[in-house]
Amino acid sequence: MPLPTTPVTLSAEQIGDLNKKLSSLRHDVNNNLSLIIAAAEIIKLHPERAGNYLNDLAAKPHKIAETVSQFSIELEKTLQIRPR
């Protein structure tokens, strides 16, 4: 993605908003990764339960990718970066 050609000035409110969104992103990613790790540990101990967790496990990477993508869109908009 191309960088802005002129300096970008952010207000304290914009920086605070980005910080809040970044904190939410970290929280969402950590929660989803924790669930993946917990399910994998349960499956290692009880392989017969794998079927109970497969659909949820398969959805978690997509959830993480969507969360990161949404943050990227907001960051690009705030910094006035236009995606290619």
Position 19, amino acid: N
Give me the number of domains the chain comprises.
1
pLDDT reported for residue 4: 72
- What gap in Å lies between CA 24 and CA 64, rounded to an integer? 12
Backbone angles phi and psi of 4, in degrees to 5:
-60, 150
Residues 6+ apart with CB under 8 A from 71: 21, 22, 25
pLDDT of residue 8: 84
Helix (H) or strand (E) holding 27: helix 12-45
pTM over 0.75, yes/no: yes
Whole domain around residue 46: which residue ranges? 12-16+32-78
Instruction: Provide the pLDDT for residue 84.
Output: 61
Q: Is residue 63 in some structural domain?
A: yes
Has residue 24 been placed in a domain?
no
| Residue 67 included in any domain | yes
For residue 47, tell me if it sits in a domain.
yes
Residue 58 in domain:
yes
Is there a contact between 21 and 69 (Cβ–Cβ < 8 Å)?
no
- In-domain check, residue 41: yes
